[in-house]
Structure 1
């Protein structure tokens, strides 16, 4: 099979703009002609091996980031949105979607924003809820959705913030039970901040910072791993305020609350990177073959924190196994979602009911495995488990979540969870992204018909699903 041609016009153009270069200046750095740069940026010609090497050496890029199809998530989001019947026969085919996502990513995101506005407007028109009808942002992408997309399209990896956290982790020293105390001491010595661990006077407050008195209060009912995380997030907001502002200025959020939400997200990112610094965490992950329980023990972190961190390991030239990670509540709603794989989560609907994460609530305390195949033919090793987050005593609240972590089957051999699986002969369970866009015809768990296909309802026969697709 001939090697796949790599067209990366949009990425090359973005790189040139980032470094404030003209096409002629970029051509001079790469030792090629300006007309050739123009052809590369317009996707008239693919990147050659020599050009990719020149780009890698000149701009310190990871070759895999050039060769990989970074527009996959945009294609999936577009395909899901354009499957809506409102587009009728005008919906573009897969090749056209790839062309738009690769050559005009900003246009693709604008289409998604427009569809999001259309969908929300329809939902509100169909609802008799007076509160929704008075929503001043009716039909507009919400602040939380803007922030979700900010991290989504950054591959959930923020390089300067990750490296800053790693540098501070080096100052804190070895991992172990005393690391929380060293972080508290660091706050006192460097920032004159007194950290107080005590139960809440009322309510379920997790953290509060009294700036006037330089006192950071942390809920002592939290697990030590969560206490460390909350202190680290507050510290990140103080130490990295200038970097936060720079990152947020470049995001161009539209919703007024989005900047504050994104700042909180960046603080949480810093906390995770400080808790599990990149180099040490990647080395330990390889040594323990991605056993999340062992990694939690080494770094004093919860399984959720470990799994979330694994999904961020996308540093150029030091990439870890590309994982997807999701958190699902008891109603089946995805409340966290990150993916460095081709598998992307439903943006406009619920998750596939055949996915093992929904069974995790039934197997509380266990890590369950699933070998799954998506409609595009890609196979995955999926892990799932559930956990209860309790606050306080008998009358305290309990939040229940299920978690999913997985990778493509080509990486499964690096994971301890695949040791007793015959990956060559195993039966892979069919899963999808969501019923709305899934093309499988014979799924017994289908909840709604696919938007892009017609259905028929036979009068004289009945199967588990009461209609036939196509």
Structure 2
């Protein structure tokens, strides 16, 4: 698979300003021409591998900062923000966006931070003292790294190798907690745990797990507890994200779960299994003793330099279409930005096909095509007899990358795709019989003498 070109002029220019050197002086140190460095800083040339290595050698610069430092998360992330209906009358095209990033990267970053601080849209700032949703900040922090945290993967893989030599994974993790951290693991009756599925009792030096957890969830809980061994790496990422205090906790929780996945599904072994099986989800579950949700989340993280997996994105939503998780990963797909997933997307069918996956080739308004795989999952609930939650986990990737997937066998990836949108308020497809509202910012249109396929007609472009 061809490598993506990396444009990171903003990061280079910021480094130069921090060092207090001119373009000519930096160009001389890097053994390139000042004019070429100027083009790189203006994002008119990508960062070459040779230049990346020279930066690392000359300035002790971590190359991973290049991918993480795109203003506002990069052009695609800014484009998704500008798709908000409050900007519908501005008609900012891709060329203008690229000029903005090249000419005023700090302004683009400031816009992204302000938009995210407002909770991802709206026409006014929150009232003083009002609680703010930390979700957009956390998502932005994750997307800056394309949900791939190399240090956590390396630490998790090293620990997994140690545990592998110590025997069966669950027993090895329990022994490590007991010997190294003086924590015993106890499985307690559901009625004793109540609504809690996991509890750390430091007074009794116990990690207490509910019997309601299945084996994959118990193993993952032990791996999360072992994240204490990667505390330095996790805290460095939290500090570097520059989040509000309210957003630090969910981001730390995400990184802890990321480390647990790196332990239970070590990167190199997991990627080899993916490629050998055609990313067969059920086989991956059995091989790594993981749940469908755990495997799906892991698939969005496979972006190690020199050993990349496919560019999966992920959404999790309930039967009302309320989205509780969304990761764009390296896919750049706008589909994850849908406020409410389009009802024409057959991912909803997975609620009725609880033991099967629902696959579909879809096409968005801008012509982007994706292959999607959806499955219903049942996270563990609380007390016995309580509500049993149900969600759909929907994975997707660009259709051009889906040819090797086991789930795509027999599907004509160049054939007709289902036309879907990003929710009625963001979709401008005409004559959609499923439409439930006119697009935001569009005037209603209709005639007393004529009725179309939808009652929510609107003025076209």
| TM-score bracket, shorter-length normalisation | 0.7 to 0.9
- Aligned partners of 2:116 and 2:173: how far apart in 1? 42
User: Which residue number corresponds to residue 262 of structure 1?
Assistant: 251
Question: Displacement, 1:336?
Answer: 1.0
1:351 aligns to 2:341 (yes or no) = yes
Counting only pairs closer than 5 Å after superposition, residues 56-455 of structure 1 correspond to structure 2 as: 56-58=52-54, 59=56, 71-81=74-84, 83-84=85-86, 87=87, 89-101=89-101, 104=104, 106-115=106-115, 136-137=129-130, 141-173=132-164, 178-200=168-190, 201-236=192-227, 238-254=228-244, 256-339=245-328, 340-345=330-335, 347=337, 349-391=339-381, 395-424=385-414, 426-455=415-444
Query: Would you say the 8 A contact 2:120–2:136 is kept in 1?
Result: no
Question: Displacement, 1:373?
Answer: 0.9
User: Which residue number corresponds to residue 49 of structure 2?
Assistant: 53
- Aligned partners of 1:365 and 1:20: how far apart in 2? 60
Question: Displacement, 1:124?
Answer: 9.7
- 2:395 match: secondary structure: strand
Which stretches in structure 1 are left out of the alignment for 5+ residues? 126-131
- 2:316 match: secondary structure: strand
Query: Would you say the 8 A contact 1:208–1:218 is kept in 2?
Result: yes
Q: Deviations over 1:321-377 (max 9, x none)?
A: 111111112221111111221313454722222222222112221111101111221
Question: Displacement, 1:35?
Answer: 4.8
Q: CA, structure 1 residues 115+420, in 2 after alignment: closer, same or farther (shift >3 Å)?
A: same
Pairs aligned (count):
445
RMSD: 3.4
Q: CA, structure 1 residues 380+346, in 2 after alignment: closer, same or farther (shift >3 Å)?
A: closer
- 1:399 match: secondary structure: coil
Q: Deviations over 1:6-47 (max 9, x none)?
A: 85422543676799987456424531134532342134x424
Question: Displacement, 1:53?
Answer: 3.4
- 2:389 match: secondary structure: strand
1:32 aligns to 2:32 (yes or no) = yes
Query: Would you say the 8 A contact 2:8–2:67 is kept in 1?
Result: no
Query: Would you say the 8 A contact 1:9–1:42 is kept in 2?
Result: yes
Question: Displacement, 1:390?
Answer: 4.3
Which stretches in structure 2 are left out of the alignment for 5+ residues? 57-61
Question: Displacement, 1:119?
Answer: 7.2
- Aligned partners of 2:348 and 2:19: how far apart in 1? 45
Question: Displacement, 1:440?
Answer: 1.5
Query: Would you say the 8 A contact 2:431–2:452 is kept in 1?
Result: no
Give TM-score scaled by structure 1 length: 0.84
Q: CA, structure 1 residues 106+229, in 2 after alignment: closer, same or farther (shift >3 Å)?
A: farther
Q: CA, structure 1 residues 119+337, in 2 after alignment: closer, same or farther (shift >3 Å)?
A: closer
- Aligned partners of 2:82 and 2:316: how far apart in 1? 23
- Aligned partners of 1:7 and 1:121: how far apart in 2? 27
- Aligned partners of 2:122 and 2:371: how far apart in 1? 37
